[in-house]
Chains A and B, each alone.
Chain A
Amino acid sequence: DGGITQSPKYLFRKEGQNVTLSCEQNLNHDAMYWYRQDPGQGLRLIYYSQIVNDFQKGDIAEGYSVSREKKESFPLTVTSAQKNPTAFYLCASKPRGDHLYNEQFFGPGTRLTVL
């Protein structure tokens, strides 16, 4: 089945530790995105990538880093510099970064809790 997978579903980390969230897609999509969701805040864009080996900061990139070495994969690292990392993290993709048709396909999300 084609789709986006995120692992793990729940993740617990101690304060001060870096943690990497996985996002893999087999939809052959060029563009991939990372969002953070907090209660009542909607979806806020962390980073996005429109093509392999290229990525751009979103609205709340501070304390996060990404890589896009393969088309299928867009891992997100939450660093110790992120002041309030506990949140629900959603990865998404769509066929082309610059196409008018904007349907995004979302993964199931990772709920990160920093203790």
Chain B
Amino acid sequence: GQQVMQIPQYQHVQEGEDFTTYCNSSTTLSNIQWYKQRPGGHPVFLIQLVKSGEVKKQKRLTFQFGEAKKNSSLHITATQTTDVGTYFCAGPGSGGSYIPTFGRGTSLIVHP
């Protein structure tokens, strides 16, 4: 099926530093979603991006969808310990199906 590649796998930051995770696809995506999973918890939906070049913000989180709709990023400004967790991107499955295909996730570790 269609794959979305996510990097990095892990990221250690000092509290207050910025953090970015990237999601890439070899094919055009009709949409992309981002989820956050806290340690020991379950994934929680953050946002969906649909339009080429779209940028959305949620407080310190900024989500971008590339102009070619093949890549996306999540940027966190001035990380806090509450940001700890694994961030997943998810794209539609192969053939434009609506079965989400998840990236492997980026685990964010914030050191106080």
A41-B104, A42-B105, A108-B42 are known contacts. Are A103 and B33 too (CB-CB below 8 A)?
yes
Complex CA distance for A107 and B44, rounded to whole angstroms:
10
- How many interface residues does A have (CB within 8 Å)? 27
Residue in B1, B41, B90, B104 whose beta carbon sits within 8 Å of that of A59 in the complex: B1
Q: Mark A66-101, 1 if CB is under 8 A from B, else 0.
A: 000000000000000000000000101000011111
Interface pair A101/B88, CB less than 8 Å apart: no
Complex CA distance for A106 and B9, rounded to whole angstroms:
22
Classify chain B: how many residues form its interface, as a range. Answer: 20 to 34
Which residues of A are at the interface with B, using a C-beta cutoff of 8 A? 31, 33, 35, 40-45, 48, 58-59, 90, 92, 97-109
Which residues of B are at the interface with A, using a C-beta cutoff of 8 A? 1, 6, 9, 30-31, 33, 35, 41-45, 48, 50, 88, 90, 92, 98-105
